[in-house]
Amino acid sequence: MTSSRLLRLAWLAGWLALACLPLVASDYYTGLALKIVIAGLFALSLQLLVGGAGLISLGHAAFFGVGAYASVLLAPEAGPGSFLLLALGAMGCAMLLALVTGALALRTQGIYFIMITLAFAQMAYYVFHDTDLGGGSDGAYLYFRPEVRLGESFALSLDSDHAFYLCALLCLAGAWALLSRLMRSRFGATLTGLRINEQRMRSLGYHSLPYRLTAYVMAAALAGLSGMLYALKDGYVNPQLLSWEQSGIVLLMVILGGQQRLWGAVAGALTFTLLEELFQSHALFGDLATHWHLSLGVAIIVLVGLLPQGLAGLLTTSRRKRAAAALPAASP
């Protein structure tokens, strides 16, 4: 059996193990796993911009928040709605916002792109914070989780935490498969070329704006989907979902995991979420747990200092060492 086949079987076994987790774990660990899955999907959406297109955005939370608000505002007030329709609505609203803002922001580069995405995100934040849309600063509630409906004869309720966890995990797996195929396609190769050497790609006849705008809109769609899952998990949304702090957290997840690997985004989300839970534990840290932000900040500084290429860099370094060890020794 080849190594690639073994790797595929290992990945499949890993996904199956994650799907079976609620059967053996307590409600706390199931809820923690659900939180990591949603954060992983959010980080994966930004990974397409940072690692794929080389675009560092400080406004990605706008799409996350818009997707969350859209799922609440579009949901029926009495009874569960359709999961697929709400997902399309949340992703569609996020994509529309990305299409409008991206057409302007992507005409800038570097620090100017970072600042203009931050400005657009803050504008969206104050739209929900200072107006009656979505309940203002008090937020809005979702009283019924939607159902997965296939025709008129089949409807799967997501009220069960296990069913909702499996639904979120399926969304993460689908996004992972989509982005993996995308980055191996001609579009992904062009996007990578624009990230590495834009001037040379332009000399070959490739225009950066259509490719980057497509990636920007796709990333917004996945962020909107993760925002919808977050809203369904808690049944509540507020303007803080669109804040710049939220954009900074998801960017930090991507940096922790490694910018050049898709699984690095999920690993970064896993690491950040576990560290956040760890430093909030009064059983382990006592009174220091009330100042968990300080402990988390120190831990992140240490990790970034020790792992400049993120967690994905560990695997890359180990592969290079094995490859170097396998080379025949040079003759004197």
**pLDDT digits over 13-43, tens only?**
878 888 888 888 888 899 999 999 999 999 9
- Give 156 or 137, the one with higher predicted confidence: 137
Q: How many helices (H) and strands (E) does the chain have?
A: 14, 4
Reported residue count of the chain is 332
Amino acid 214: pLDDT: 94
Q: What local confidence, expressed as pLDDT, does residue 331 receive?
A: 43
What does the angle CA 195 – CA 222 – CA 168 come to, to the nearest 5 degrees? Answer: 135
When pLDDT is averaged across residues 36-57 and rounded to a whole number, the result is 92
Classified as helix, coil or strand, 148 is: strand
The predicted pLDDT at position 172 comes to 94
Range 85-104 average pLDDT? 94
What pLDDT, on the 0 to 100 scale, is given for residue 223?
Answer: 96
Residue 152 pLDDT > 80, yes or no? no
Which pair of tokens denotes residue 154? 């089949």
pLDDT, tens only, 174-198: 999 999 999 999 999 999 998 988 8
Distance CA 176, CA 159 (A): 25
Please give the residue that has the higher pLDDT: either 125 or 154: 125
User: Where do the domains of the chain lie?
Assistant: 27-243
Residue % of the chain over a pLDDT of 90: 48
pLDDT over threshold 80, residue 2 = no
**What are the φ and ψ backbone dihedral angles of 260, each rounded to 5 degrees?**
-100, 5
86, pLDDT greater than 90: yes
Question: Closest by alpha carbon to 86, among 196, 167, 182?
Answer: 167
Q: Model confidence at 1, in pLDDT bands (50, 70, 90)?
A: low
pLDDT of residue 122: 94
CA–CA dist 99, 94 (Å, integer):
9
Nearest alpha-carbon partner for 222 in 7, 63, 30: 63
Mean per-residue pLDDT, 285-310? 86
- Phi, psi at residue 234, to the nearest 5°? -95, -20
- For residue 147, give both structure tokens: 């159902």
At residue 78, does pLDDT exceed 90?
no
**Cβ neighbourhood burial of 1 (10 Å; 0-12, 13-18, 19+):** exposed
Which of the residue ranges 94-98, 202-206, 303-307 has the most confident prediction, judged by mean pLDDT? 94-98
Residues ≥6 apart with Cβ < 8 Å to 149: 82, 83, 84, 155, 156
Question: What are the pLDDT digits (tens) for 227-270?
Answer: 999 999 988 999 999 999 999 999 999 998 887 788 888 999 99
In angstroms, the CA 71 to CA 93 distance is 10
**What is the arithmetic mean of pLDDT over 146-152?**
79
pLDDT, tens only, 206-216 = 888 999 999 99
Q: Tell me: pLDDT of 330 over 50.
A: no
pLDDT band of 205, cuts 50, 70, 90: confident
Residue 328: predicted pLDDT: 54
What is the amino acid identity at position 287? D
CB 62 within 8 A of CB 125: yes
